[in-house]
């Protein structure tokens, strides 16, 4: 007999009577979504650029390129100096990655990124610094709304990114920049 | 100071308590987490509603677990994810090793997984020539120090930065005497980047497994799970059967409470949904029972499987904060560690590492009734004839004594008089372990009963 069979069989002797699935009906806080999002993003150590959009981002990218930085852009309209590499490992020297987020969550500063916008899945993690671009109309109030709007087709990978990577594992001292990106700048368009 | 040598909780706690300043420091560090948690929870008007929904959703899932597990497996297969089932830790380790051996894996990078700790997977793989690198900073620290985790979310909470500095100087070549957390973290980042880039496979735990999508959700702040899983072409995810949630809406409820309750953050930095392997890659999910179906056979113990491993109950527990993570004879310490580990505690002492204050149950984001479960474990130990601390011999006498009104009233009256007229040094020995760190009370003039009759009767 297989272990699967044994486990499923053992579950038949569970002691608790079947419970109904609760209804999830939590009213969202819908005032000033951009303001809420900015506050949350600051809390998770990210920075929001409300105005200027892609032009401001391109200027920032150009400046970094002039300073010798390696930048990959996965966003239409932003030109950088690196292309998608053949292997994921070859991204190891990327200083900045520019990526599109599908939607942003006001309550916690998280941005949903689907692997269609990534090239290699590791791109937003392996880069030293991350630029995310989000449409200001795609800010939702909370995770319940986000859950109903995100796309994750069969076989895909997607992630909520809330700020740069961080840790407090040494004496609870917050250090921004653990294994993923060391900074996150979000540009609204 | 290790979980590997069993001794009763009080003895292990005594070792931890020898350094009083350190105990205070440990307790305070955890209390800071509790305070952050309170602020995060307090900022959401719907917090209590989220706890209620979280609890009901987990109970619903646990009572339909066979159905959801099968749904999850079918959807995983459609997403090109290979699913394995393991009845216990030994079978889990065998499955993992078979997969790794088939791909000739020499180095495995692993993000935090309490399940693989529970299964003692690292030593199993290491004995078979596979290098296992823990990639969460806290876990890497304790791995280099050859220690088990002392907390489920902040595994190196018991170590001071100077100790980490010394360890890193020894193992990673950082400057002697350097203890700045930023400097040490950057050194670990550089060291672990090399490991990510040279790993042959990656393994992660699972925070939630979404049944209707056939996807696993992995949450980290450091990005180590995603750096691992998205570099080598082989990714493995180990999960207990209790990690299933019906759909993404359910996962969203838990994502709202998990980080808030753990560290006070609004959400973990990365909440990643894997619904299939990367291009040209291979993805495996190992579903593990290891005693969980047994727990489900007991109505009260079953509720401990609602746990989402946020660590909130550890941070608030007055006993954990002052006895440390190595006092519990189990991989998981604190209230939830007692709930899921008491059965395998051969010293039968950990259900008594609790004041039954109930603080854990009140902070729990899925309303696991921890104090009730711990109390239930005491009953189970008594029924099995395994009471510790000599309780089996004296508790029946205490019971009889307390049940007799005359005996109780007489002796309490004698005790009040004794406390008033006899010197403390003479009485202290009678207070036993209770009096070890406490002063004797000041005796009231009368019993509560007499006071009540006089004033309120």
What is the H or E stretch that residue B282 is in? strand B282-288
Mean pLDDT confidence for A41-45: 98
Contacts (Cβ under 8 Å, ≥6 apart) of B366: B51, B54, B55, B58, B254, B257, B306, B307, B308
Q: With beta carbons less than 8 A apart as the criterion, state whether A78 and A54 touch.
A: yes
Mean pLDDT across B314-321: 98
pLDDT of residue A126 exceeding 90? yes
Higher-scoring residue by pLDDT: B445, A26: A26
Residue of A nearest to B163 (CA): A170
Shortest Cα distance, chain B CAs vs residue A1, angstroms:
12
The token pair that represents A75 in the structure block: 């966003």
Give the chain A residue whose CA is nearest to the CA of B257.
A143
CB B225 within 8 A of CB B270: yes
Q: CB atoms < 10 A from the CB of B252, how many?
A: 23
Residue with tokens 């946020």: B310
Question: CB A152 to CB B86 under 8 A?
Answer: no
Please provide the average confidence, as pLDDT, over all residues in chain A: 97
Query: For B64, which of A8, A18, A105 is closest by C-beta distance?
Result: A18
Q: Specify whether the CB–CB gap between B228 and B203 falls below 8 A.
A: yes
Domain coordinates in residue numbering, chain A: 30-188
Residues of B with CB below 8 A from A10's CB? 289, 293-294, 296
Contact (CB<8Å) A108/B241: no
Looking at beta carbons, which residues of chain A come within 8 Å of B289? 3, 7, 10
Distance from CA of B8 to the nearest CA of A (A): 28
**Which residue is closest to A86 within chain B, CA to CA?**
B279
Instruction: State whether A44 and B265 contact (CB < 8 Å).
Output: yes
Task: Evaluate whether A106 touches A39 at the Cβ level (below 8 Å).
Answer: no
Residue A169 pLDDT grade (very low, low, confident, very high; cuts 50, 70, 90): very high
Chain A residues with beta carbon closer than 8 angstroms to that of B44: 107
**C-alpha distance from B454 to closest chain A C-alpha (Å):** 48
Token duo for residue A160: 């909520």
Chain B CB contacts of A126 below 8 Å: 227, 231
Instruction: With cut-offs at 50, 70 and 90, classify the pLDDT of residue B1.
Output: very low
Q: State chain B's mean pLDDT as an integer.
A: 95
For residue B365, the model assigns a pLDDT of 98
CB contact under 8 A, A159 and B270: yes
Q: Regarding the domain with residue range A30-188, which homologous superfamily does it belong to in the CATH classification?
A: NagB/RpiA/CoA transferase-like (3.40.50.10420)
Comparing alpha-carbon positions, the chain B residue that sits nearest to A24 is: B53
Residues B15-46 have pLDDT tens digits of 999 999 999 999 999 999 999 999 999 999 99
DSSP letter, residue B82: E
Average pLDDT over residues A106-120: 97
Residues B186-227: pLDDT tens digits? 999 999 999 999 999 999 999 999 999 999 999 999 999 999
Contact B189 A177 (CB under 8 A): yes
pTM > 0.90: yes
Q: Write down the domain spans for chain B.
A: 417-455
Residue in A27, A150, A171 nearest the CB of B181: A171
- Torsion, CA B251, CA B254, CA B256, CA B259, rounded to 10: -120
Q: What is the DSSP string of A47-107?
A: EEE-SSHHHHHHHHHHHHHHTT--EEE-STT---SBPPPSSGGGGGG-SEEEEE-SEEETT
* Closest residue to A143, CB basis, from B56, B184, B256: B256
Q: Retrieve residue B196's tokens.
A: 């990510």
Judge: A14–B197 Cβ closer than 8 Å, yes or no.
no
User: Which of B267, B272, B281 would best serve as a mutation to test chain A binding (most A beta carbons within 10 A)?
Assistant: B267
Distance CA A148, CA A143 (A): 9
Contacts with A26 from chain B: Cβ below 8 Å: 46, 49-50, 53
Closest chain B residue by Cα to residue A90? B197
The answer to whether the Cβ–Cβ distance between A147 and B293 falls below 8 Å is: no
Q: Do B270 and A180 touch (CB under 8 A)?
A: yes
> B137: exposed, middle or buried (C-beta count within 10 Å: 0-12, 13-18, 19+)?
buried
Q: Check residue A1 and give its pLDDT.
A: 63
Q: What mean pLDDT comes out for the span A147-160?
A: 97
Query: In the predicted model, is pLDDT for residue B182 greater than 60?
Result: yes
Q: Confidence class of residue B2 from pLDDT cuts 50, 70 and 90?
A: very low
Alpha-carbon distance A56 to A78, whole Å?
Answer: 10
Gap between the Cα atoms of B66 and B74, Å rounded:
12
CA distances from B79 to A119, A158, B76, B161 (A): 19, 14, 5, 44
Q: Is A166 within 8 Å of B222 when comparing Cβ atoms?
A: yes
B390-437 pLDDT tens trace: 888 888 888 899 999 999 999 889 889 998 888 888 888 888 878 887
Give the residue from chain A lying closest to B26, CA to CA: A171
Contact A158 B213 (CB under 8 A): no
Contact A180 B49 (CB under 8 A): no
Looking at the DSSP assignment, which residues form a beta bridge with residue A105?
Answer: A140
φ, ψ of residue B186 to 5 degrees: the values are -65, -40
CB contact under 8 A, B241 and A162: no
């Amino acid at each position: 007999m297989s272990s699967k069979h044994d486990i499923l069989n053992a579950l038949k002797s569970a002691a608790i009577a079947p419970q109904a699935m609760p209804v999830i009906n939590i009213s969202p806080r819908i005032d000033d979504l951009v303001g809420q999002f900015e506050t949350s993003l600051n809390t998770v150590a990210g920075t929001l650029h409300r105005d200027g959009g892609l032009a401001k981002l391109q200027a920032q990218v150009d400046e970094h390129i002039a300073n010798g930085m390696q930048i990959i852009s996965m966003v239409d309209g932003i030109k950088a100096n690196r292309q998608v590499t053949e292997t994921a490992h070859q991204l190891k020297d990327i200083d900045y990655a520019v990526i599109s987020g599908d939607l942003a969550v006001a309550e916690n500063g998280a941005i949903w990124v689907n692997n269609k916008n990534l090239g290699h899945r590791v791109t937003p993690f392996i880069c030293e610094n991350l630029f995310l671009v989000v449409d200001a109309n795609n800010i939702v109030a909370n995770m319940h709304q986000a859950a109903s709007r995100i796309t994750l087709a069969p076989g895909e990978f997607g992630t909520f990114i809330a700020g740069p990577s961080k840790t407090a594992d040494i004496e609870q001292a917050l250090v921004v920049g653990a294994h993923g990106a060391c900074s996150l700048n979000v540009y609204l368009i | 100071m290790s979980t590997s040598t069993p001794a009763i909780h009080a003895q292990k706690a005594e070792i931890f308590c020898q350094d009083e300043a350190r105990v205070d420091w440990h307790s305070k560090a955890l209390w800071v987490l509790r305070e952050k948690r309170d602020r995060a929870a307090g900022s959401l008007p719907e917090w209590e509603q989220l706890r209620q929904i979280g609890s009901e959703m987990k109970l619903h899932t646990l009572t339909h677990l066979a159905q959801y597990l099968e749904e999850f497996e079918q959807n995983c297969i459609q997403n090109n994810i290979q699913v394995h089932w393991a009845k216990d830790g030994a079978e889990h380790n065998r499955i993992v090793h078979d997969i790794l051996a088939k791909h000739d894996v020499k180095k495995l990078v692993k993000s935090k997984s309490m399940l693989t700790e529970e299964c003692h997977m690292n030593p199993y793989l290491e004995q078979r020539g596979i290098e296992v690198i823990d990639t969460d900073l806290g876990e890497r620290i304790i791995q280099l120090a050859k220690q088990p985790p002392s907390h489920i979310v902040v595994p190196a909470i018991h170590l001071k930065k100077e100790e980490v500095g010394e360890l890193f100087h020894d193992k990673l070549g950082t400057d002697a005497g350097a203890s700045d957390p930023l400097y040490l973290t950057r050194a670990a980042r550089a060291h672990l980047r090399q490991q990510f880039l040279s790993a042959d496979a990656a393994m992660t735990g699972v925070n939630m497994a979404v049944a209707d999508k056939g996807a696993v959700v992995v949450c980290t702040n450091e990005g180590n799970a995603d750096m691992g899983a998205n570099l080598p072409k082989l990714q493995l995810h180990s999960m207990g059967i209790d990690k299933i949630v019906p759909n993404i809406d359910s996962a969203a409820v838990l994502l709202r409470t998990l980080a808030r309750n753990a560290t006070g953050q609004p959400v973990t930095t990365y909440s990643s949904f894997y619904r299939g392997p990367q291009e040209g890659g291979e993805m495996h999910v190992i579903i593990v029972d290891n005693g969980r179906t047994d727990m489900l056979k007991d109505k009260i113990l079953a509720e401990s499987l609602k746990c989402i491993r946020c660590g909130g109950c550890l941070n608030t527990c007055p006993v954990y904060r002052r006895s440390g993570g190595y006092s519990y004879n189990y991989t998981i310490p604190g209230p939830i560690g007692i709930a899921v580990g008491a059965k395998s505690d051969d010293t039968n002492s950990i259900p008594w590492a609790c004041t039954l204050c109930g603080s854990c149950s009140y902070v729990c984001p899925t309303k696991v009734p921890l104090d009730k479960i711990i109390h239930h474990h005491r009953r189970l130990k008594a029924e099995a004839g395994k009471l510790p601390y000599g309780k089996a011999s004296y508790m029946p006498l205490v019971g009889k004594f307390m049940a007799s009104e005359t005996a109780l009233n007489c002796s309490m009256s004698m005790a009040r008089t004794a406390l008033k007229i006899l010197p403390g040094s003479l009485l202290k020995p009678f207070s036993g372990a209770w009096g070890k760190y406490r002063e004797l009370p000041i005796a009231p003039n009368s019993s509560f009963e007499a006071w009540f009759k006089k004033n309120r009767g």
